[in-house]
Structure formats: structure tokens, C-alpha cells
Structure 1
């Protein structure tokens, strides 16, 4: 059997990337049924979906680490889409949770700073999606707090102020906004979207994905499947199909139906 790589030639194949940057709601998004996992599944063979979620983080810390996650000249193409999804921790009440709390004006400034940084490293505003925190179900979250020995440390009305600031920053910067706080509360009882009053349940993950996908799809719709559809590989000389300019599918959007 010939060793892998024995046939020389072919251009390096760089996968386009979608970057998910956020707090625990992003970190947990690759769990079974998560919105990030659903996005990765939808974009298989078109994009790598990178999960850069950091449980418990706020925008003050996110602004510091963003340049460590992505920078100009890192040898990779700029992401085709970036989600920035913070606010659930920034909006914590200062008196009850001073470590995670970030004042509203600083929160907005931090979001704007991150969008501007991305632009400085070649990621234009129109590829960025700012996602607001979801609404807080106070009764459910209070049970979680009490179980951990705390008082209720968030209020839905305060979360709403941070959501409004997030939407405003997106408008000012020319980025897309997904106002999850408002959309979820169109249902009178939004508690089924949350597993503990703050984090997303399976239904909440599905809800987020259903509203995020149209925004992502606009940014990736022109991307073909990478490498040819298996039926299009030349049987006698597969190198011609797999190593040359024919490395992209002639059936954009085609799904493999056989292994």
C-alpha cells in the first residue's frame, strides 16, 4: 500500500472558518443539540466552526484575550463570519456579583472595541454578528443561586438594558445583531428556552440556531463544498480530481448520501 502523501502536488487546502466567541452559552454550544453543533453540522465541508466560548467571562476579559485568538498574519484566511455573544455575565448585579459585573457603558465600549479590532485584522464589520444575552427567568435562576449559597444576582430588566446596548453597538458599527432577549420574550412563557433560568435548554438552542442561521447563510452562501463530490472523482486518475483546481465540488450544496 502506498504511503499517504506519496503523490506530490496540489495546493494547500485552507478551510474557511466561522468563529464563535462568547461566554458559557457559546462554550456549551457544542453539547449534543447545541446551536454551535447544529451550525457545524450545517456547514460541514464548507467551513470549520471554531468554538471559542469561555464560561463565566465578560467583555472586559474578552477584549483582552481576543488578540490572542485571532491576529493578522497568522497564516490563515480571515473568518467568513464571527459571532460575539456576551452580556449574561456583564449584566450581573454589581452588589451581588462584582467580579463578573461590567458597567453598561463599559460593556458597550468593549463590544465596539472588539468589532474595531476585528476590522483592524481584516475582518470587516459585515461579517460580524453581535448576539444579545437571552432573557433571564428570575424564579428559576434564583433557585440556582440559593442552591449555591448566593442571593439572586441578576435581573431580567437589567439584562434587557445590556441587550439594547448590544443592538445599538451593532447598528453603530455596521454589524448584524441578533436580539435574542427580545425574540424569546415574544412567547409569554419563555422559560422552556432556558434550562436553569439563564443557560439555554435544547429548545433554546434550537431557537437560537433557527434565528442565527439566516444571518450566517448570507455570509457563506457562495462557498462550495470542499473537494469533489465522491461520484465526481475520476476513477482511473483520482489525482486529477483531488490535487488540482477541481478540488471544489461541482455540485455546490450537494450532500453525500452514501459512504
Structure 2
């Protein structure tokens, strides 16, 4: 029996490989590629486990780049996934979806995709910049949806399906606080709450179209009294805001990764007379076996 949903999906998709002998030469490479994601990890010995340690990739702009600061949402998520997955911060400050769609294939390649357990895509705050004030970062909402979709399509093309993707929409903007920051930099207010809300809605629409989990920060944060406390400067997350996001994101991630156990067996379960036997036989993707 398959050990997890990934195995089940792979075995189901590759069933047509049992066709006529003439078709085997064409279907076999496809079959092997689809099985790589989970079965290869099941069969890989502990001696090569370092290369296959599952990865959760946080992809976005500065709100993700700063997520590993003290109390940051990325740091807390990494702590909760310790010894199960490596959480990689791939936040690139200032980037929008247009720029992000170009660098995503450089961050996650076809060769490295097999051990990517989860990807978060968290764009919109820069795309929503007002075009008349900040044309460098602005992306029209229609194009924003297009670039989000292109990133999803790319991930699917390298066998990272919708179950392993989470979209996160932009948080609300505290215009009064952010205007102070803009003036400090010699600009006028370059983002507005209502405009950012349009991008949040668009993000959710793309997620719904693709049957992908989406976190709507713009809406959920504003349901809390004094929601401006979630923002450090009117745009970026404060510690309270980071905690809000982490508490929303972590249950989704843990549910999706419940098939991943601890990497390497618990110390008390190791046969002290023959530790290599226990370690080599251990399967972190079916830890009960």
C-alpha cells in the first residue's frame, strides 16, 4: 500500500504505464519522474538523507525577507518544523510579482523540486503601489493575477502540485503611519488601503481558481480591533502582525505535512547493539513503520 497521499497520486497517475510494450519506452521516463517525489525518498537510505531533507520555501518580498528576525513568522514556523523540514527564506525585498516570476525558476529548479514539501507565495504589497507615485514597483491588478498564475503553472510543471502551494495576500496598509515613512524618503503616500484590498481579492481569486489555500490577511487582520498594531511602519509586519500570520499559516502547513515524521529515528528507539540497522531502516515518511 502507498504510505501517503503523494505516493497514492503518483501510483494512480502512472497506472497507464502498464500498456502495450510499444508504449513503455515513452511512458517509462514519465513514470520515473512522477515516482521520484515520494517513492525515491522512501527508498533512499539514511546515508543520503541530507540531500533529501524536505524543504519549505517562503517566497516573497521584504515581509518574507524580514520573517527570520526575532519573533518573525518564518523563524517561528522553522522552529515548529525542526528536524522535519528545512524552512528556507527566499524573500527578496522590493520585488513584485513581475520580478518574482522571473527569479522563481532560479530559486526552485526542476532538479531541486522533488524535495520541496511546501511553497508559500506572498506578493501584493509592492504590486499595489500607486502607479503615479511608484511606477517601478506597481503592477496592474490584471497583470498581478497573470504573474501569480504563471508562478503556479511553473511549480505545477516541475511536479509541485496545488497541495504543496499556499498563497498569502498582502496585509492592510495603515495609510497614516506609512505616509510618515514615505515623507522620510522624500515621497508622498504611495500605497492605499482600498487599493491593496483589490490585490488581496485578486490573490484569493487566483487561489480559488487553482484550488489552492489562500490566507487573506487584508480582510482577517481588519476584523481585529486596533489592527494597525499588526504593522511596524504601516506596511511591514510588527511582532504582533508576524504572530498573527504565523498562527494562521502554521496549522495549514502542519496539516499538509502531517505525513512527514522526524528525520532519523528517536534515540531511544535505536538498537544500541546494531544502531546502523535501525537508522538505515527508518522511514521518516512513514515513521510508524
TM-score (norm 2): 0.80
Distance in 1 (CA, whole Å) between partners of 2:242 and 2:46 is 40
Alignment of 1:130 onto 2:167: yes
2-side partners of 1:82 and 1:246: how far apart?
A: 26
| Pick aligned residue for 1:31 from 56, 62, 69 | 69
Query: Deviation digits for residues 191-210 of structure 1, max 9, x if unmatched?
Result: 11010000000010000001
Q: How far apart are the structure 2 equivalents of 1:215 and 1:127?
A: 11
Do residues 65 (structure 1) and 103 (structure 2) align?
A: yes
Greater percentage in helix: 2
Q: Pairwise CA RMSD of aligned residues?
A: 1.7
Match of 2:265 among 224, 228, 245: 228
**Residue 23 to residue 10, structure 1, CA distance change in 2 (3 Å):** closer
Matched, 1:49 2:49: no
Q: What does residue range 148-227 of structure 1 map to in structure 2 within 5 Å?
A: 148-227=185-264
Describe the superposition over 1:131-164 as per-residue Cα deviations: whole angstroms up to 9, x where unpaired: 0000000000011111111101000000000000
Alpha-carbon distance in structure 1 between the residues aligned to 2:129 and 2:80: 34
Match of 1:22 among 40, 56, 60: 60
Aligned length in residues: 242
Q: Which runs of 5+ in 1 are unaligned?
A: 1-8, 253-259
Gap regions ≥5 residues in structure 2: 1-44
Cα offsets for 1:50-78 (capped at 9, x unmatched): 1110000000000011111112133x524
CA contact (8 A) 1:78 1:122 kept: no
On the 8 A contact 2:260/2:285 being kept in 1, the answer is no
> Moved runs in structure 1, 4+ residues, more than 3 A?
247-252
Deviation of residue 240 (structure 1)? 2.2
> What displacement does 1:126 show?
2.1
Q: Does 1:115 align with 2:152?
A: yes
Distance 1:165 1:240, change over 3 A: same
Name the CA distance, whole Å, in 1 between partners of 2:111 and 2:103: 17
